[in-house]
Amino acid sequence: MFSKLLVANRGEIACRVIRTARALGIRTVAVYSAADAGALHVAMADEAYPIGPAPARESYLNIGRLIEAAERSGAEAMHPGYGFLSENGDFAEACAKAGIVFVGPPPAAIRAMGSKAAAKALMERAGVPLVPGYHGAAQDETSLAAAALRVGYPVLIKASAGGGGKGMRVVEAPWTFAAALASAKREAASAFGDDRVLIEKYLTRPRHIEMQVFADRHGNTLHLFERDCSIQRRHQKVVEEAPAPGLDAERRRAMGEAAVAAARAVGYVGAGTVEFIAEGGAFYFMEMNTRLQVEHPVTEAITGLDLVEWQLRIAAGEALPLRQEEVAARGHAVEARLYAEDPARDFLPVTGGLRRLRAPAPAPDLRIDTGVREGDAVSVHYDPMIAKVIAWGEDRNAALRRLAAGLARYRIAGLTTNRDFLLRLLRHPAFAACAYDTGFIEHYRAELLPPPSPAPPHALAAASLALLLDESAAGSGSGDPHSPWHRRDFWRLNGDTYRDLRWAEGETQRLVRAYYRGERYRLEIDGAASDGGAMRLPDGDLAVDLDGVRVALAVSRLGDEVTVVGDDASWRLLYIDPLAHRTEEEAAGGRLSAPMPGKVAQVLVTSGARVKRGQALMVLEAMKMEHTIAAPADGTVERVDYAPGDLVEEGAELIAFSTPD
């Protein structure tokens, strides 16, 4: 076994690999970009080396700097994690040339599977069933459009070199093909440095099922059962579970045999995942990921195995520790990916600081994989994942209950997350009944993404009482303890002692009138009176008592913005300070602003252009995804403020736009 391992990645997967290496007695080496100098994975490792500026292309994707860090540290092996260079044959080859063991498959296997087109041709020869489509060498628009017509619409354009939903577009009709192709190629080039694509028939109600495979250098190959990854948004996985609900023993056997055949066809070594798409009674090969998957913890949960340990042992030359007939599964496991993103804005990634981050305590049946801590920032440069939350249960219902309970205990403030969305999804009757496919989120969008509900009385009380408690703890500006201006009980001359606290919630104003009553308050919330009180809990939450009903809520304040987080929902309120000077808000009309920090990928209009409602005006790239800025109405482009390649902050005015009077 190795004595020192370099982890060529960041975030939660780097932390995950470091934990197993430490358990095996292996010293670990982290690498970090300028943006990650204070990151958790750097703190966890025994050593850490800087590898360049924040942009991934100049740091985590720089093969030369990674090899140099390994040589400087004396690391004998390199674990690539997932993403970045984990499926890069050149990186694996560079490690071999430097005498460093690459914890993964041989370069030839990576290259064979790295091109989706080449992989499909290889699988076809191996007898693995394929989705109807085109994976040829011709990449011009005319050839690809003709292939799409032959396959039959709707079709799916997919980046040949990548995954994770990047460079992927669903095309419903021929007249939208050209624009979708151009967008997919730009995104693929940005994410993978390769703009080649393939065309597949788009199945309308499929499930996404993948098989975990392992192979050693002694000729042994096996699978560790399947995972269902059908719950997706923007072609990226959100919830994964193992085993796949409703998959009978015969289908499991057939998919397992196909996955093992696929691995053997490329002379595979190490951990890999063969992904299938299934509809009706049929299943088809999609791709093979030549790395560990984000969702590997659910396989670990049902098998009791450590897949990273298996990777390291195989890379060190050991044989697989089990035979196929010795692999057993027990119970059910479900994983949810907790992201910094805004589900109400089509799941746009969100950046910002984690002012508050309190996670549930890990337990035997609840696992948290994360790479961030309270106070860290989610950067525009990398994936916006906050954590993976994994629950195990004796059966699926038990696992779902434990996962929902774990997510409910999260307290996050400082940026928007998908926590509340995940809770609605996990508790949805159709999901509980296993009635889902890859279009589940779109099918139930209205129920999963309802309009924001008004903050309930407990949330308004929490925001108001937290503010009053903070003011009381801060003391008064008066130096005279006998002065009435020193008191914090809302004392008034010849009047009742109360304080009005006004809150803005979207376009609505809410009023809380607080009457001081010793250690308690009489609260009038939107005119309804309650007896209330609050106290700080050891974990920082606020225990709010209204008429004897007690609820624990997290309250976080930044300036006048207050975030209240409960077990089932979160609310953002703006305190209207009567003493603060306020200016007229700038009219939103006439401005097209950046919905998130990013880089301008393409400008599609010029000043003076007349455009139609919905017409694409500009394309932004953030976190390796493209976002189109469209005209909100028929009108005229007055001014374009940015050019391709420019970096923009969230809220920056991109285009000045006018509509007819």
Catalytic annotation, residues: 291
Is the separation of the CB atoms in 337 and 385 below 8 Å?
yes
Write the DSSP string, 2-58.
-SEEEE---HHHHHHHHHHHHHTT-EEEEEE-GGGTT-HHHHHSSEEEE---SSGGG
Burial of 138 (0-12, 13-18, 19+ CB in 10 A): exposed
Phi and psi angles of residue 307, each rounded to the nearest 5 degrees, phi first: -70, -30
Q: Which of 79, 61, 285, 104 is nearest to 194 (CA)?
A: 61
> SS3 of 547, please?
coil
**Which residues, at least 6 apart from 520, have a Cβ–Cβ distance to it below 8 Å?**
531, 532, 533
DSSP classification of residue 319: P
**Which residues, at least 6 apart from 182, have a Cβ–Cβ distance to it below 8 Å?**
none
Q: Tokens standing for 234?
A: 């923007």
- Residues 266, 269, 273: CA angle, nearest 5 degrees: 75
Q: Which of 392, 659, 361 is nearest to 539 (CA)?
A: 361
Is the separation of the CB atoms in 575 and 615 below 8 Å?
no
Burial of 299 (0-12, 13-18, 19+ CB in 10 A): buried
Burial of 99 (0-12, 13-18, 19+ CB in 10 A): exposed
End-to-end CA separation in angstroms for the chain: 74
**Which residues, at least 6 apart from 477, have a Cβ–Cβ distance to it below 8 Å?**
485
Q: Report the alpha-carbon distance of residue 366 to residue 393 in Å, rounded.
A: 9
Burial of 191 (0-12, 13-18, 19+ CB in 10 A): buried
Phi-psi region of 331 (alpha: psi -120 to 50; beta: other; left: phi over 0): left
Is the separation of the CB atoms in 58 and 381 below 8 Å?
no
Is the separation of the CB atoms in 228 and 208 below 8 Å?
yes
